[in-house]
A and B are shown apart, each in its own frame.
Chain A
Amino acid sequence: MRNFHFEPGALPPEVETLRTEVRDFLAAEMQGRMPDERVESWSGFDPEFSTKVGARGWIAMTWPRKYGGHERTAFERYVVLEEMLAAGAPVGAHWVADRQSGPLLLRCGTEAQRQQFLPRIARGELYFAIGMSEPDSGSDLASVRTRAERDGNGFRVNGRKVWTSNAHRCQWMIALVRTHHDPENKHAGLSQMLIDTASPGMSIRPILDLTGRHHFNEILFEDVFVPRDMLVGDEGAGWGQVVSELAFERSGPERYLSSFELLLAFMREIGEVPGERAAVALGRLVAHLVTLRQMSLSVAGMLQAGQNPGLEAALVKDLGTAFEQELPEVVRLVLDVEPHPEGTAFERVLAHLTQVAPSFSLRGGTREILRGMIARGLGLR
């Protein structure tokens, strides 16, 4: 049986100087941003903010300098991420490229791809969308049907991707496509490709979420030409690459801090001397928050040590999203409050989170998929 071991992570003391720098930056940049802007957290898409973050050297922090990176530690990167999230900073534009697209290119990309994309990602200018899910392929990701067929010095791509967050605002995407069909083995024959979102033959249509807002999209590929040199990694090796990319997608502090703004709003509501019921509820939430941070730090420590914390990341994500989703429920058990989109800051934050909370345990791997991975780690499958 696989033992989940979370070595308590301790941040090296030198990162605290960096933390102070980030806090000072955020104090100035976030001035005047209301709680209902902050609650957007890493969904908030603000290119101007992202270029400022890039200029401070806080994107691509661990990448080699020759690609525009800053060769800092995983712990330093962690500190920047958690400070941005805790402040509700609009990091959504550069988030995906920094978290997974760039690291994927570093691991599997060609030298030319690294030269072309990484420095601009690091500057906070180049944003990436993830083309994984399809109408008939959600959790069963290996069943993707978007085809890429050889055509001269490249591929012709046909098919459809859905739930592609911010595709309408990102210049590039990395899509998982089928380059070979083997009815016996659906995991074989998948490949990842860099695709310019302005390519001829691509149409990007909004899919509004249940609040009526436009974050994600449906993308239709009709004979979209992708040059051969935009293939990421080996042809047919896409499944393995995607699995390790998803480990990165799940490893960060964004998986327990999405609702942090509501915890703060709740604290402002109950005041410095809360009643017994409010104090008990708050204390329990703080216990969960602190434990999740300790676990998340432990995952950062494994990344820093060059280990693959895929399983531990899945575990922290599932616990983290449960916490994020529980927050609005706990708040309602303590206070007689109605979520209200035009109400007070507290009511607006509650209104937003109550509605978006279901997505937390869907995005980045559903709760059921993650628990399946954990069960495999326990030796049950």
Chain B
Amino acid sequence: MSELGALLSDTVTRLFGDLVTDEVLQTAEQGAWPDRLWRALAEQGLTLALVPEPAGGAGASWADAYVVARAAGYHTAPVPLVETMLAAWLAAGAGLPVPPGPLSVAPVRGEALRLARAGAAVVVHGVAARVPWARTASHVVVVGDLDGRSTVALVPTASAAVASGENLAREPRDTVTFDGARAEQAGPAGSGLLADAVLRYGALVRSAQMAGALARALDEAVKHVGVRIQFGRPLARFQAIQQQLAVLGEHVAAAGVAAECAFRAADRGDAGFEVAVAKVRAGEAAGIGAGIAHQVHGAIGFTYEHHLHFATRRLWSWRSEFGSEARWSEELGRAAARIGADGLWSHVTSR
């Protein structure tokens, strides 16, 4: 880990540890904005972590950003931190100024939003579903095609219509109707980015968040089986429990490795293959891992009072956001099939 990465890691661990309490999580689910948490993250420069230093950011690499995204997942932080980091990175990469405050990205479901010129301005047409935190974001960063070029448009949320929705963890997932919304700024996307950049990099950050939330579910499960006594001994002493948690540990490790490798690939500017691998692998781990964590928790883990669900409900949503395992497996499978049996191994070893 780089020096900056270590610093970011310490900062987020401390901030989330102090400020993401069960009470904050519960009130956030009822619609309260955790302003104190957000301001602390912004003051520490985390929201602009991926923005180059000359543009006012921390100049972190994707490898550094991995620890932040993973920590956001581990602590189930109820704020659009990774979305803002991604939006700011996309905007700065296109040479656009990065507005302060929470940001979001679109489209996340693969919809083709239409970018068009209106005089000197760029306008956006179309409807984007399941946009994270749109109601809170000052701007939505849209990536789409304009005149045959991947283009980033910075659209004030106020110029679009936002209808509220939620995911399983009651995180805002809103429908944004652009309908000719005028972009404040627009510019060609950074090098190597295609019009599907939001889907791809969104999948990347979700894979790290899943790795984090899985690690949290494992820690909670280990803690629980150490103190819960049944048949006169802690659950941890039962082989049936030990064997299940070993499997959970394996999936935590696999999801983490897949995600971290994808973040490193993103620094090389060519992460398409690794992002697909990470989203598929972490997504599969999410389902298996959440299931095991609940099984060893017993009924108490199925209550709202217990906080395991803050991690598991996110896992169940995150694995489907920015493309499910089916979507990314199919893409990966088609790519592998094109490479063919004779080329697969050298493709894998060349990454």
Q: What is the interface of chain A, defined by CB distance below 8 A to chain B?
A: 1, 4, 6, 8, 10, 19, 23, 82, 86, 260, 263-265, 267-268, 270-274, 276, 278-284, 286-295, 298, 312, 315, 318-319, 368, 370-372, 374-375, 377-381
Contacts and interface: CB of A to CB of B under 8 A. Distances in A.
B249 A378 contact: yes
B229 to A, nearest CB: 15
Contact of B246 (A278, A291, A292, A372): A372
A6, A82, A284, A315: most-surrounded residue (chain B CB, <10 A): A284
Interface residues of B, number: 53
Most chain A beta-carbon contacts within 10 A, residue among B226, B256, B330, B340: B330
Given A82-B349, A273-B337, A380 B245 contact: yes
A375 B237 CA distance: 10
A380 B225 CA distance: 8
Interface stretch (B3-11, B164-172, B276-284): B276-284
B341 A290 contact: no
A312 B246 CA distance: 12
Contacts of A379: 222, 226
A347 to B, nearest CB: 16
B341 A283 contact: no
Interface of A is mostly: helix
Nearest to A322: B250
A1 B221 CA distance: 12
Please give me the 9 A-B residue pairs with the lowest Cβ-Cβ distance, nearest first.
A283-B333, A283-B332, A283-B329, A279-B333, A375-B242, A371-B246, A282-B333, A374-B246, A287-B280
A295 B243 contact: no
6 contacts: A4-B253, A267-B340, A272-B340, A283-B334, A289-B348, A315-B249
B329 A279 contact: yes
A294 B261 contact: yes
Given A287-B258, A379-B222, A380-B242, A374 B337 contact: no
A318 B251 CA distance: 11
A287 B332 contact: yes
Given A287-B332, A371-B242, 10 more contacts: A4-B253, A6-B257, A267-B340, A272-B338, A279-B337, A280-B326, A281-B333, A282-B337, A284-B284, A286-B344
Contacts of B222: 1, 378-380
A77 B320 CA distance: 39
B261 A284 contact: no
Contacts of B348: 286, 289-290, 293
A378 B246 contact: yes
A122 B241 CA distance: 44
Contacts of A86: 345
B246 A283 contact: no
Nearest to A370: B246
B12 to A, nearest CB: 17
Nearest to A295: B257
A70 B351 CA distance: 27
A323 to B, nearest CB: 10
A271 B337 CA distance: 7
